[in-house]
Structures are given as C-alpha cells and as structure tokens.
Amino acid sequence: MLQFRKTLFGGIAPALLSIVLASPVVASDAHHAHHKDHNFGAFTKDNVLLTPKDYREWIFVGGPVTPNDMNDGKPAFPEFHNTYIDPASWNHWKKTGEFRDGTVIVKELVSVGTKQSASGNGYFPGEFNGIAAMVKDSKRYPDKPGNWAFFGFESYDAKQGAIQADDACAACHKANAAQDMVFIQHYPVLRAAKPKK
C-alpha cells in the first residue's frame, strides 16, 4: 500500500502534471467542456430556485425599460429590466438557437434615476430594485408551460425565490413572446447570435 501510494504520488502525478503542462490546448478544452455542461441554477429539494448571486457576470442580453412616467407610475416591473442568460445556455443558444434544459434567465430591476445627463435628456439607471427569473427544465418542471418555471424574489437577501402561478407570469409570456416564451423580439443580442438555418 505504502509502495502503491509512493508510486501514485511520486510517479504518476508528476507524469500527469507534465502532460497537462505540456499540452495547454487539451487542458483548456477539458475546462471548456466542463463549463458548457455546468448548470448555473441552484435549487431547494422542492425545485425552488435559490436567489441567483453572480448573474452580473453572465451574458447581458438587453435592458427594456418601462418608466413609471409612461405607465401611470405602475409598470408591471419597475423600470429598467437588465436581462442576463447563464453562460452555458448562451453557448447552447449560439450553437442551436434553442433554450436548453437548465437555462436560467434573470431580469434585474433598476429604477430610473435622473432624466438628464451630459449626453442629453433620457432615462438613466438609478438604483437596483429587485430581481425576477425564469428557469427551463423538463425534469424539474414537466407540467409547466414550455417547462419554464417563473420566480419572484422578495429581496436580494431572500434565500430563495417564490414559484409563481402560471396565470401570473407564464400565460403572458406564452401568448406574446417570440420564441419559447422568451421575448427575443426585445433582445438584439440573442437574435444576432442565433445561428442562421
């Protein structure tokens, strides 16, 4: 046993290390494959999405804005909607033009701050307001429309989201969104990356 260990650590490990060091392409491919398969959502036992944390490092697909002053002070979601897709699902989208099982899309809400700046009059982002999210997963959500579950969050500090009733969220997305319940008509970043068939 001791001999075996000695061989393992004294012999094989350095040999492997030198292979890895000598072939950076192999090493980075392996890393890439791992990254592609990685699911970014984390869930409770009951398939409720834990509050996403690092989504500002995901791929930003767009920022629709429904300002209070154009919506009687009560847009459905205030006001800027900064929308992000997880990196693994972005890679899949670029290859297939589809949202894969495991896709997490977060929309982060930001108030309108000032309406004037050095660049002109307009709507300028103010402060973060909250988040909402949707997750596609045929195993976790076999009975949800399009296998998408929708989540609201009480605050950034909430441990987890609250799964929303289909008529609160999914119905409008199903009726109006351009592809698979996602409003790609409002995300030029997604449309530009979609492969031409």
The contact set with ligand HEC (CB under 6 A) reads 64, 66, 76, 81, 83, 105, 107, 132-134, 150-152, 164, 168-169, 172-173, 177, 182-183, 186
Torsion, Cα 176 152 103 181, to 10 degrees, reads: -10
Nearer to ligand HEC, 91 or 164 (CB): 164
How many other CB atoms are found less than 10 A from the CB of residue 100?
18
User: Minimal distance in Å, beta carbon 177 to ligand HEC?
Assistant: 5
CB 131 within 8 A of CB 107: yes
Query: What percent helix, strand, coil does the chain show, rounded to 5?
Result: 35, 25, 40
Nearer to ligand HEC, 64 or 87 (CB): 64
Nearer to ligand HEC, 121 or 166 (CB): 166
DSSP state of 12: I
User: Minimal distance in Å, beta carbon 3 to ligand HEC?
Assistant: 58
> What is the token pair recorded at 192?
């530009």
The residue written with tokens 């350095």 in the block is 14
Which residues lie below 8 Å from residue 132, measured CB to CB, with a gap of 6+?
Answer: 77, 106, 107, 109, 150, 151, 152, 153
The residue written with tokens 């698979």 in the block is 180
User: Minimal distance in Å, beta carbon 113 to ligand HEC?
Assistant: 18
User: Minimal distance in Å, beta carbon 67 to ligand HEC?
Assistant: 11
Nearer to ligand HEC, 30 or 162 (CB): 162
User: Minimal distance in Å, beta carbon 74 to ligand HEC?
Assistant: 13
User: Minimal distance in Å, beta carbon 83 to ligand HEC?
Assistant: 5
Which residues lie below 8 Å from residue 50, measured CB to CB, with a gap of 6+?
Answer: 41, 42, 43, 44, 159, 160, 161
Nearer to ligand HEC, 19 or 168 (CB): 168
Nearer to ligand HEC, 111 or 164 (CB): 164
